[in-house]
Each structure stands twice: as structure tokens, then as C-alpha cells.
Amino acid sequence: MALLRFIPVLYVASCTLAVVKENFKSCEQSSFCRRLRGFKPEISHYELDLSDIQLTDNAVETKLTNFEDNSHFKISLSAVHGDIFRIQVDELMGLYPRYRPQYALNGEPQAAKLSVVDKSKDHITLQYSDNKATLHAKPFKVEFFKGDSLVAVLNSRGLFHFEHYRTKPSENENNEVEQQKKEDPGAWEENFKSHHDSKPKGPSGVAVDITFPGAMRAYGLPEHADKLPLRSTNGGEPYRLYNLDVFEYEIDSTMAIYGAVPVIYAHSPKHTVGFFWHNAAETWVDITNSKDGNVMSSLVNLVSGTQEHSVSAHFMSESGVMDMFVLMGPKPRDVVKQYASLTGVAPLPQYFTLAYHQCRWNYNDQDDVTNVVAHFDINNMPVDIMWLDIEYTDGKKYFTWDPVKFSNPEQMVNNLTSTGRKLVVIIDPHIKREAGYFLHEDSLANDYYVKNKDGSVYEGWCWPGSSSYLDFYNPKVVDYYKGLYAFDKFKGTSDDVYIWNDMNEPSVFNGPEITMPKDCIHHGGWEHRDVHNEYALTHTVGTFKGLTERSPTRRPFILTRGHFAGSQRFAAVWTGDNAADWSHLAISYAMCASEALGGISFCGADIGGFFGNPDVELLQRWYQAAVWLPFMRAHAHIDTRRREPYLFSEDVKNRIRIALRLRYAHLPLWYTLFFEHEITGEPVIRPLFYEFPEDSEWYDIEDFKIYNGGSHNIPVSLDKILAFYRGGSIIARKDRPRRASSLMHNDPFTLYVALDNKQTASGTLFVDDHASFEYRSKKYLYLHFKYADNTLTSNLIDKTDYPTKEWVERVVIFKPPPGVKGAKLTSKTLGSVDLETSYTSENKALVIRKPGVNIREPFSIKLY
């Protein structure tokens, strides 16, 4: 599939950020991170008992012992279909059960067959396809081989550690546990600022190191406002995965923000390997890279005794079991697809969701919403979706409308849909504690709220003031909550109203680190510390169920801020409360590319920045850049100046109009990529190391100038959007400007054929009804375009059918063969037809006009 690459021209300007780092913990201030990070690389204190192992066709299980404190664990290694190994470790006869995430995996992974190829008292080697895993007994470690190449080693540095549950020692006891308490006062209870964490079950941290011999770089661990390759954290803060409400976050930082996806990929030209740490508790990850100058070479020696490059990761979580997946690759696309096979893919979104979204906190009233859309039409600018932030509600009470400002929501929605537009409204998980508010009264009466450690209802502070939080771990809460989206409950809504789940980290303004205390209790007795990073996912699952039951024939659209592994199955994400600054524009690409590698392709950033007022140049450049991210939404803080694109000068409006029309022209490409993501698991946007290991040839999409591999200095004006088609690609576009994507559905296609040096090209196109689930019943067209031997052909990839009026209006061929005199179309319906052609010497393009063939029909066009 052809892929777009956009290179924004960015100028870094100064910006004063408001994030208060002191409100958030460092590793040193987090007792479990301080404790687990304090272990130094050494010979492991853990041993496997290989004298009493249990073998099945798919797994091996035995006992693991910490010989220092004589604690015992069960460990299993199993094979998962698709070249994946799974390692699970849990306590034997633990004092309390330990939490396993409930929502990240897309069902139980499919087991594959393992065979024993070598066994002794010291080790056992198991094979699955061309993958092998060797478990070493003393000291404990696991080596993973692809063919004969060692590609990963678990516990090579001896940092594996599992804090088993135990009873809290009394003050007069003088034993090992009491000594630990003296060494780390935060082990059994912990304070941060004015907040106290009672830790009723005591220390329960788990940690492991995994090393990747030969790897040059590591990627993954979204969400962080950092560059795409992961940095070495030696001497600095580890990457933190803990969903937090951090407004105006710092860039180039390992600080936690809104999402937590604990997957990492280690890459080298020879092989790429992945590691998924299936744990929902607060997690810190140290990255060590031998190619960085401050890293000791002893890391490499611990692995293989050689001086090759190596990357190592040290995962540390506060609680839960160890559930680890090693993704064996061998290429970047293989490991990402292997991860997708575990956590699932984004379902095909509705077509309109890929168009332009207009939002701010807040549109004043229903007339404001109508007028904004009208001004887009007056200025010939497309927009598909209007958004409403929290002020549309009656006093911040969700599932209600302000009785004055939004007194007739049904009429407002009808006004939008009559012009082909949709509406998105915000629904957060905090519930206003107000007598008479039906949702609060129902939740109190039916025990739907998260509890304090003493069993009383937890009360925090958020936008409504005093609030409590729905406990989506209770199945009765999900059943109740999904019913709130029904049209007779959420009055004024329709099939064309969709949902924005915000503040669901969860955000608690007066809570520790602006979130929920860890010793709060969820349904099933789980502490919030066990489930924190998964909470937002449970929220979006409830919303997804509500929308699918409300509108069973429509694909849901949900945007979520908090997210975890697996969130892609239910919602899109955005990069949160960014700032009107060039650096925040630049980092949006790295952040969304990292999310895509972590399974979450449907990602974007607030155009113009949420906080602050962008200057006119920055705003224009942000629109031009946002064309090439999957989710395209403008959004702004309530205190910012209005910045709808039609409010500016004619020059500025024209540049933004061109950018928006370019986005709409490429909607068929975005839609096709999302369909292919659902069937293959490949990311919709991909960094160059993933897709193009070697330099490739590119065509400028505006003037069709050819750029071969290597570096180029290209002059760029404000009117220039620097983007390229890769040589060898065929892109299907819809170039007729419309005010909304819904009005484009029957428009014709222009096929852009960018030939490679072999004079060949190919591409795909997906067509269906743009909205329903009927594509899962084979009601679609999935086409393959191919150009070779001076002939363009179109054929069905899948033997399906879908009636459509869409047809081919033009074909544009970049760098065509010399001496073309004409073109001949051949199809079953039209027979053999000579077509009009013209050649533009300035941009070296051949244009074939009005083939007129329906896209549903196979055809060929031969140049002569």
C-alpha cells in the first residue's frame, strides 16, 4: 500500500509551560520504583526447579524459588500462535490473589504446539516453528532464539524480582520484613505531599529485565511526549506509565501523561523483537542502550560475551502478576502484527470520522454551533463534525443539556445532519454529587461508585465540584451505563451524535498526582493500584457497548484521553492538552507514530494547541501538518481567542482551505488504510524504519517533481505543503471540493500513478457504504490497481460485490514512458474505447481524461 510521508518545516519558538512537575512523583519518590530500581545487575537469586516440570503440547510449568527468602512461585512458558512466547509468573499459595488485566487482550491467545528439543538438570529448550526458548535453572534466565540467532534474554542482568504478599510485621519484630521496612519506609505505607497511601497489602512490586542482543534502537512505550526512539535512561528518570491528567505537559520528557501501553520493540537491521508487559499497575521502565556513550559494555558481556550492540529494558510495576509476551519478529511489521494479534485492532471507522473535526471549550450555545457551520459553508471550507465540551450540560451533569443555551438539542442536531454533518459531545466518568440528579441518585442507590478503603463511597473533586466515580469493574454498572445512551434516556441525541470520553485517567483535582488514591477499592476487591492504567479502557468499553446497542447498524465513534493496551478496539485517542508552540506541533508526529506502533493508529493532536494562542504562521503550519495524521481535530481552551479558520485574512483562509481540501481528497486512502489495518494489524501511519529500511524514491504531490533517496534541501513557502508519494504507488483520490465527506460518496476518483524506476506501480482501494457493519458480511469492494508494461489494470482482491455509482474520472501518471500517443480502455461494459490524453512537460505527467468506468468493474487502460 502506498504511504504518505509529510515533512513539516518547523521553527522552535519559546513557550512558558505551566506543568508543575512537583505535583507528580519521580522514581525516587515512588517507593516501589526506588526499591526495584535500587537492585544492581548481578547473578539472579532465583532458581528454577527442573526436576519436577509439567509438560503439555503448548507449555511447560515448574516452580521458581527465591533462595534468599525462600519464597516460591509458579512459572509457565507457552507458545502462542503467530511466533510468540508467553511467560507467566505468580505466587504459589499467595496471601492474596494478584490482579490480571481483564480488557487488554482480545480474547485468550491461541496456543501453539511446543516440542522439547533439549533437556538436562540445568536447562530445558523448547521449540516452536523456527523459534526456540531455553530456560536456565541456576541462575534463572530465559534465552530466545530465532533460528540460531539469540534475539532476547530474560533476566540476563539479574533484575528479576517478585515481592510476595506477606503480613505486616509488628513494631517489635526484628525480622527480614521489618528490616526492609527500615530500609524503605514507603514499603508498607507511603506519603506524597498531603496524601497518605495505606498500602493494606504491603509491598507487591514485580520487575524483570529483558535484553536484546544486536539491537540498535528501541521504540514503543506510548504515551510520552518524547522522540520516537526511546532514550537511555541511565542517570535520568525512567519512562513512567501511569495515566495522569498533565496539562501543558513538557516535551522531550519521560514523564507519564494520559496513556500507558507497556510494549517495546528492539530493532536492528538483522531482526526486530518485541516485548509486551501485560500489567495494569503503575509501571516504570529503564532503557539501556550500549551504543550510547555513557553505558558500560558489561551489559553486552552479560548477554553473549561479545562487543555487539545491545538494548535492555527493565520493567518495574507496583503490583499484579507477571504476564510477559516475547514477540519474535523478525521484521518490524511482524512484531507489530504479533502485538495486534494479542490486543486487537481498531475496527473500521465510519468515513466521516477521518474528515475534519471542529471543537473548542466551549461553543456558547446551539446558535453558535449552527453559525460556525454556516461560516464554513460561506467560506467554502469543509467540516464534518462539530464538538461540544462540558458547558453543553446542565451544571456539568452528564446526559443532560443546559436548559437555556442548549434548549432544543434535537433541532440543533437536525440542523447539522441536514447539511451532512455530525455532532460529538463529551461524557466523563466523574458524576456530580447533587441531590435529585438521576445518575447520582441511581449510583448511590445501587452501589455503583468506587469505594474508599473503608467501604464508603469515594468522593473527589473534578469539573462538577464534588464528584464520585463509576466503577466499571462492576458488570451491573456497565449494564446500567450503556443504557444511558439510549435515545429515550439521552434525549436530544440521534444516530448522528457520538461521544468524547475525557478526564478518565481518572482525573481527580484534589487527589494524589491529580488522580484517584491507590487504596480505593473496585468491584471484586481490587485496589485502584492494581487496575489504574486500565480504568480508562473500562470507561470506553462501557461507552462502546452503549453506542452499539443504541445504534446497532452504525459503527461507533469514541475519542478517549486515557488509554491502555487494547484501547484501539473501542476508541481513537489524541495527544491531550498540548500548547500553542512549534515544539508541540513537531512532537505530535512522534507521539502518534509511537501510539501506532503500540496498536493505536487512530491518533491526532489538537490543531493550534489547546493552551495559548498560536500566531498565524503556526496555525497555518499546524493545519498543513494535521492533514497527515489519522485524527484531524481543531480544539482550544475556553480562555483562548476564537480561531475558527474562516476568521483570518484571505491569504490565511486560502492556505487552510487548501490543506483541508487536500485532506478530503485523500479520505479514500485513509479509509483504505484503516480497512487494511483491521485485516492485517499493520499501523495506519508508520515510521520510515518500519516501512522503508532503505532509501526510496518520492514524488512531490503538488508539482510531481521527483526526489531520489538521500538528503535534499527544498525551499518551502507558506503556500507549500511538503509531502510526497512514494515511487511505485497508485493513490485513489477524490478531488472535487465538497463541504462535507457525506457529499463525496458518489463522486468520481482520480488515480495518481507514481512510477518507480522499473516503470511499475500498485495500490489498493476499499469502498463500502461508509457507515455500517455490512462490510463484515462481504458487502464491499477491495480493489488492486497495478501498472506494468504500459498498462493500468484494476481487479477485485476479494470476490465480493457492492453496488456503487463511483467511477474513474481521470488517471494521472507521473514520469510516464516517452512517446505516448494515446490510451485504450477495455472493460466488459464499455468494451474497447480510445481515451483522450495530454502530457504536461513542466511536471512530467500524463493525464488520461474520463475513462468513465465504474470502480466496481475490472478494467485495463493500455498506453500506446
- Secondary structure in 3-state letters for 24-65: CCCHHHCHHHHHHHCCCCCCCCEEEEEEEEEECCCEEEEEEE
CB-count exposure of residue 601 (10 Å: 0-12, 13-18, 19+): buried
Asked if residue 420 lies in contact with residue 742, where contact means CB atoms within 8 angstroms, the answer is: yes
CA distances from 212 to 143, 154, 215, 359, 538 (A): 10, 9, 6, 44, 33
Q: Which CATH architecture has domain 357-427+471-506+532-678?
A: Alpha-Beta Barrel (3.20)
Given 226, 245, 502, 581, the catalytic residue: 502
Query: What are the start and end residues of each CATH 2.60.40.1180 domain in the chain?
Result: 694-863
Judged by phi (left if over 0) then psi (alpha if -120 to 50, else beta), residue 844 lies in left
Given 323, 496, 519, 577, the catalytic residue: 577
Query: What are the start and end residues of each CATH 2.60.40.1760 domain in the chain?
Result: 21-101+109-167+188-343
Strand partners, 792: 787, 861
Strand partners, 240: 284
Q: For domain 694-863, give the CATH superfamily.
A: Golgi alpha-mannosidase II (2.60.40.1180)
Cis bond before residue 552 (omega within 30° of 0): no
Question: Strand 808-814 vs strand 791-796: parallel, antiparallel, or unpaired?
Answer: unpaired
Q: What integer pLDDT is reported at residue 593 of this predicted model?
A: 98
In CATH, which of 2.40.128.110, 2.60.40.1760, 1.10.760.10, 2.50.20.20 is domain 21-101+109-167+188-343?
Answer: 2.60.40.1760
Asked if residue 49 lies in contact with residue 62, where contact means CB atoms within 8 angstroms, the answer is: yes
Which amino acid, 21?
A: K
Q: What integer pLDDT is reported at residue 177 of this predicted model?
A: 55
Query: What are the start and end residues of each CATH 3.20.20.80 domain in the chain?
Result: 357-427+471-506+532-678
**Per-position DSSP letters for 430-492, written without gaps between them:** EEE--TT-HHHHHHHHHT-B-B-TTSSBP-EEETTEEEEEB-TTSHHHHHHHHHTTSTTTSTT
CA distances from 274 to 107, 126, 238, 299, 339 (A): 20, 19, 19, 19, 8
C-alpha–C-alpha distance, residues 322 and 278, integer Å: 7
> Residues of 521-551 as b/e, b for ≥16 C-beta within 10 angstroms?
bbbeebbbbbbbbbbbbbbbbbbbbbbbebb
Q: Find all residues with CB under 8 Å of 803, minimum gap 6, and list them.
A: 856
Across the 864 residues of the chain, what is the mean pLDDT of every consecutive 10-residue run?
34 50 96 95 94 95 95 98 98 96 98 96 96 97 97 98 91 58 82 96 97 96 97 95 95 98 95 98 96 53 60 98 98 97 98 98 97 98 98 98 98 97 98 98 98 98 98 98 98 98 98 98 98 98 98 98 98 98 97 98 98 98 98 98 98 98 98 98 94 62 76 85 91 97 97 96 98 98 98 97 97 93 97 94 87 98 97
* Angle formed at CA 691 by CA 688 and CA 692, multiple of 5 degrees: 70
Q: Find all residues with CB under 8 Å of 598, minimum gap 6, and list them.
A: 220, 221, 222, 261, 263, 339, 565
Active site residue 69: no
Place of cell 452499539: 548
Q: Find all residues with CB under 8 Å of 135, minimum gap 6, and list them.
A: 48, 50, 60, 77, 123, 124, 125, 126, 142
Active site residue 577: yes
Place of cell 512490586: 205
Give the three cell numbers for residue 678. Answer: 483491521
What's the longest Cα–Cα distance across the chain?
A: 98
Predicted TM-score (pTM) of the model is 0.95
Asked if residue 838 lies in contact with residue 847, where contact means CB atoms within 8 angstroms, the answer is: yes
